[in-house]
């Protein structure tokens, strides 16, 4: 069961003499501060909305703290105030509003569990922050130490003994001794500026110091995209060279394997100079890799399509390209891969939307 200890008082292990020295040291420190500092703090009314916005600049993880009530009910709520308190012994802390309906349950609980949510658990976070009859209904979880529910699919979980409770203004700070923890290879959910987000790695250096530019180049999108394109595509284009397949032919085949389009539409999609495009199309027609199809509307321009032979060529090359992609993205979580691709799609659509031929 937790014990209420005034916030700021020395730890239990302190002797009366140690506590007195600590108290005197604190008093001496504050006595040295200018008198106007304290009076100005007391006389100034902070803007509560601005204060919340300022706190929102600090990105936090999102947790669901759970316990079991004295009557056997499973209790849980969303909290982003979780933090580490000590490594030896291992301790964590989190805070709860004094007027919370679940305050007394957690105050009297012997154990609680902190479930660090993964990036794909936004719905779980929202469920435990809303007033619903049974927040655990249909949720995959197991009974942990002391009956505290442990939610499946989390980035990490900490099962704790409830050891201390401190007063902190309109909140109480709960401190738990970690009895057991688990870590999973999942991207954690993050809360920043009032919304959910995910973490993204920001490497400072390359493995051998190469290809890491300084100055504006390392913070300007165009050279970043150019370097990424070159490094990403180099092994694949070497394979094309070995197979005696020109890059331009691959670009046309890959585009037509997804969709049929007119010659002008194709030119807009792959942004290839007319002379090179026409030469490439003639070569592909000669190899029976592409063919012409009926126009979409009567009197319209004929469409270009992949033949079966062309489609087989694309499938073989696509397998090589996808293997290269899997190798490059292997160290990035699946959710970050999807977000990255979607961001590129959105950027392309935004930049090209007004230019698309009618």
Q: What is the pLDDT of residues 197-214, one digit of tens each?
A: 666 655 554 444 444 444
One domain for residues 194 and 268: no
pLDDT number for residue 114 = 96
pTM for the structure as a whole: 0.49
Is there a single domain that holds both residue 180 and residue 268?
A: no
Q: Do 139 and 226 reside in the same domain of the chain? A: no
Write down the pLDDT at residue 52. Answer: 67
From the centroid of its chain, how far is CA 329?
15
pLDDT at 354: 53
Among 8, 3, 9, which Cα is nearest to 107's? 3
Q: State which residues of the chain have pLDDT below 70.
A: 1-46, 51-52, 55-58, 197-219, 353-358
Q: With respect to residue 24, please indicate whether it lies within any of the assigned structural domains.
A: no
Q: What is the pLDDT of residue 217?
A: 53
| Cα–Cα distance measured from residue 64 to residue 122, given in angstroms and rounded to the nearest whole number | 11
Confidence at residue 20, expressed as pLDDT on a 0 to 100 scale: 42
17 three-state secondary structure? helix
CATH number for the domain spanning 77: value is: 2.30.110.10
> Does one domain contain both 172 and 226?
no
Residue 41 inside a domain? The answer is no
Say if residue 186 is in the same domain as residue 96: yes
Picking from 135, 164, 198, the residue at the C-terminal end of a domain is: 198
Radius of gyration of the chain, Cα coordinates, nearest whole angstrom:
30
Token pair for 40: 């100005």
Q: Are residues 238 and 104 in the same domain?
A: no
Examine the fold and report which residue of 147, 173, 198 is the final residue of a domain before the chain moves on. Answer: 198
pLDDT of residue 230: 86
**Same structural domain, 331 and 255:** yes
CB 114 within 8 A of CB 63: yes
How many whole angstroms separate alpha carbon 294 and alpha carbon 139?
Answer: 53
Q: Do 65 and 148 fall within a single domain?
A: yes
206 three-state secondary structure: coil
**Within 13 Å, how many C-alpha atoms sit on residue 39's CB side?**
3
Please provide residue 227's backbone torsions phi and psi, each rounded to the nearest 5 degrees: -65, -40
Residues 277 and 182 in one domain: no
Closest CA to 315 of 248, 258, 241, 269: 258
Tell me which residue range forms the domain holding 189: 49-198
Q: Is residue 206 situated within a structural domain?
A: no
> Looking at the domain assignment, is residue 209 inside a domain?
no
Confirm whether 42 is domain-assigned: no
The total domain count for the chain is: 2
């Amino acid at each position: 069961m937790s014990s209420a200890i005034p916030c700021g008082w020395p730890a239990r292990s302190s002797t009366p003499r140690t506590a007195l020295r600590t108290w005197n040291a604190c008093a001496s420190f504050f006595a040295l501060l200018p008198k106007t500092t304290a009076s100005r703090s007391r006389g100034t009314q902070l803007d509560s909305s601005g204060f919340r916005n300022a706190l929102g600049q600090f990105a936090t993880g999102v947790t669901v703290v759970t316990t079991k009530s004295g009557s056997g009910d499973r209790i849980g709520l969303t909290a982003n105030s979780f933090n580490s308190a000590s490594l030896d012994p291992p301790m964590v802390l989190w805070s709860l509003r004094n007027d919370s309906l679940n305050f007394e349950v957690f105050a009297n609980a012997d154990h609680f569990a902190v479930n660090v949510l993964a990036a794909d658990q936004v719905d779980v976070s929202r469920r435990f922050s809303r007033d619903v009859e049974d927040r655990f209904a249909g949720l995959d979880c197991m009974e942990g130490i002391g009956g505290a529910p442990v939610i499946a699919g989390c980035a990490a979980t900490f099962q704790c003994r409830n050891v201390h409770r401190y007063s902190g203004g309109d909140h109480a700070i709960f401190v738990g001794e970690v009895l057991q923890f688990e870590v999973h290879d999942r991207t954690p959910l993050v809360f920043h500026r009032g919304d959910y987000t995910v973490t993204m790695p920001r490497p400072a250096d390359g493995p051998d110091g190469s290809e890491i530019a300084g100055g504006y180049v390392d913070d300007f999108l165009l050279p970043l995209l150019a370097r990424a394109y070159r490094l990403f595509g180099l092994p694949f284009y070497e394979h094309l060279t070995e197979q005696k397949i020109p890059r331009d032919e691959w670009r046309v085949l890959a585009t037509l394997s997804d969709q049929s389009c007119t010659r002008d539409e194709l030119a807009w999609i792959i942004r290839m100079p007319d002379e090179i495009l026409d030469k490439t199309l003639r070569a592909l027609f000669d190899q029976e890799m592409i063919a012409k199809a009926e126009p979409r509307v009567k009197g319209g321009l004929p469409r270009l399509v992949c033949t079966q032979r062309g489609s087989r060529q694309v499938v073989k090359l696509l397998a090589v390209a996808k293997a290269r992609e899997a190798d490059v993205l292997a160290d990035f979580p699946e959710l970050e891969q999807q977000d990255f691709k979607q961001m590129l799609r959105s950027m392309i659509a935004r930049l090209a939307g007004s230019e698309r031929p009618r």
